[in-house]
Amino acid sequence: MRKYEKIRRIGHRDNEELFDSGYIAVQEKMDGANFRIYINEDRELSFGSRNIDYRNVPDEDVDKNFRPAIEYIRDSARLTAVYDVVNNYGPVTLFGEAMHKHELDYDWDSTPRVLGFDVYSHLKDEYLQWTIAEEIFNRLNIETAPVLDFGPVDEITPSDYEEIESSYRDGIAEGVVFKNHSTQTRAKLITEAFAERKKNAKAGAQAGVPETKRCSCRNTSATTIAESRRS
């Protein structure tokens, strides 16, 4: 089962090729936990968190935070479509966000337990183009994290996404992720308000004080990158 790579902030040397060529998908970054669904060549499903493979693990031994996500897939996914997915793409690992409470409070009545965001092809040894990944999630009846834009690299400006409203809560999103299939490159842009909220929550937890402060600062790194691209 493939493990999802750590996504660095935009501007890191790991994502220098992000805007070299091709198309970019811009997707809302959800504040949940990394979740994996592996479909093997025998069309069998297995699950995992980012670091733990739950194959052959009894349900009662699965981390309680991931049990609702597994139950959701078993109950809601269109499992008959698994055959089509394997026939067309071979074994794949689907990546999604297991949506349970972290820093942000979502509208839990309308937020699915799992929101898909990437599909890895074990035959091609690469992440699939977003349009193909979206088709796979749709076939399986798994909702995806909201896509804000999909277009040529020269039409995507990072600074446009410094402060965006979330599709699943009344307020700003955690941030966005930029994905380029051609270069197999990913980068994240975290809103300053979320970064400040997380920082204060951590400080408050250490001091035994609940976090209350909010920040509406603008993220300058994305602006700097956008300006350098135009120069």
Residue ranges of domains in the chain: 7-30+151-231, 31-144
**C-alpha distance from residue 36 to each of 20, 45, 104, 116, 163 (Å):** 29, 10, 22, 9, 28
What average pLDDT does this structure show over 44-62? Answer: 92
Of the two residues 32 and 192, the one the predictor is more confident about is 32
CATH of region 31-144: 3.30.470.30
pLDDT band at 207 (very low <50, low <70, confident <90, very high): low
pLDDT band at 193 (very low <50, low <70, confident <90, very high): confident
What average pLDDT does this structure show over 158-177? Answer: 95
Q: What is the pTM of this model?
A: 0.84
pLDDT at 102: 83
Contact indicator for 118, 133 with CB cutoff of 8 Å: yes
pLDDT at 56: 84
pLDDT at 204: 56
Rounded to the nearest integer, the mean pLDDT of the chain is: 88
Entry field: residues in the chain:
231
List, for residues 1-45, the tens digit of each pLDDT value. Answer: 899 999 999 999 999 999 999 999 999 999 999 999 999 999 999
pLDDT band at 101 (very low <50, low <70, confident <90, very high): confident
Phi and psi at residue 37, to the nearest 5°: -130, 115
Contact indicator for 194, 103 with CB cutoff of 8 Å: yes
* DSSP assignments along 48-103, one per residue: EESS-B-TT--GGGS-TTTHHHHHHHHHHS-GGGHHHHHHHH-SEEEEEEE---SS
Of the two residues 49 and 223, the one the predictor is more confident about is 49
Q: Which helix (H) or strand (E) holds 226?
A: helix 220-230
